Chain A
Amino acid sequence: MASHPPEPVFSALMSEARSLNSKLFSLPRLELLSALETFGEDGALYRELKSSLRMEDGVLYANLEALKKMRYLKKNVERVEGKTLDSYAITNEGREALNRVRAWLKKWAEKTESG
């Protein structure tokens, strides 16, 4: 049964959390970064992100712009079969930020599960 870990462990966990970028802690942003992580420099088109992650334009666009502002993504313009389409690719900073969040979440899950 999950329980609150002992105070020193919890304090250490929370202290670590303060070094993370809290603006990354939203489901759409984590979904976007982890989806784009697979494609590296290749990136993915806006329309592919929209259909696969099933996000509405407003949510998708706002979160992509926020991640771009944080320099976790870069935006490119691509030509595909005569159409001009936006694509997004994760940056090295984006990859590092995602890995830090992932590592912290793993620690948090382990510590709160064992109590």
Chain B
Amino acid sequence: MEGNFNKVIACMRELGVSLKAEHFQDRLVLQKTVYLLQKLGVKMNFEYNLYLRGPYSPSLTKSLYANKKEFDKLEPRIPLSAPEKERIQKFRRVIDLLPSELEIVSTYTFLTSESGLDEDDAIRRLKQLKPFYSEAQVAVGISKSKQLFFKPTVADLEAIRRETAAWDALSDEALKKAG
């Protein structure tokens, strides 16, 4: 199925960003943003694979170069549904649209959700692919990926409840003593 580049443009408009096709940084932001929005459920039908630049869609690049003028002007304007707008806003609340952050978030997300790696292996592979980012940047990126995509299972919630039970008990006691 061919990618929907008009929807890509609509998403950029909804995000309130103005990217230029001639700027490498803007093309990087576009690639990773489209990947993450698709993972959030905004269908644009661009296929991604993990290449040396992290998740990347050659067909998105082709569409971009074929529609440079429209992209730069953010035209045509096609409507987005309310659920799509909600997902885009969720993305915007979490992600700062910095190239480094987008690279780490998208690569970690791909490694855990599509390459099937567990957290430790995904972090190891991420650091191999992106050794030029600091530990702090990697930690923030991973945290943001989890904010966007982590869905706790019943077992996760039970484990969290058990972990926090002792602290809750202490806190209740302290409140009682304080009267």
Contacts and interface: CB of A to CB of B under 8 A. Distances in A.
B130 to A, nearest CB: 7
B24 A39 contact: no
B128 A42 contact: no
Interface stretch (B57-65, B113-121, B142-150, B156-164): B57-65
A47 interface: yes
A55 B119 CA distance: 26
A39 B56 contact: yes
B52 A52 contact: yes
Interface in B123-154: 128-132
B89 to A, nearest CB: 24
B129 A51 contact: yes
Nearest to B62: A40
Interface of A: 35, 38-45, 47-49, 51-53, 76, 78-81, 87
Given A47-B132, A52-B52, A38 B58 contact: yes
A80 B25 contact: yes
Interface of B: 23-25, 27-28, 51-53, 56, 58, 61-62, 65, 98-100, 128-132
22 contacts: A38-B56, A39-B51, A39-B53, A39-B56, A39-B58, A40-B61, A40-B62, A41-B61, A42-B27, A44-B53, A48-B53, A49-B52, A51-B129, A52-B52, A52-B129, A53-B52, A76-B24, A78-B24, A80-B28, A80-B99, A81-B99, A81-B100
Main secondary structure of the interface of B (DSSP, over half): helix
Contact of A51 (B23, B51, B128): B128
List 10 A-B pairs, minimum CB-CB distance, nearest first: A52-B52, A78-B24, A80-B25, A42-B61, A47-B132, A51-B131, A48-B52, A48-B53, A38-B51, A81-B99
Nearest to B130: A51
Given A39-B53, A42-B27, A49-B52, A81 B98 contact: yes
Contact of A80 (B24, B56, B129): B24
Contacts of B99: 80-81
A79 B22 CA distance: 12
B18 to A, nearest CB: 16
A79 B56 CA distance: 19
B61 A78 contact: no
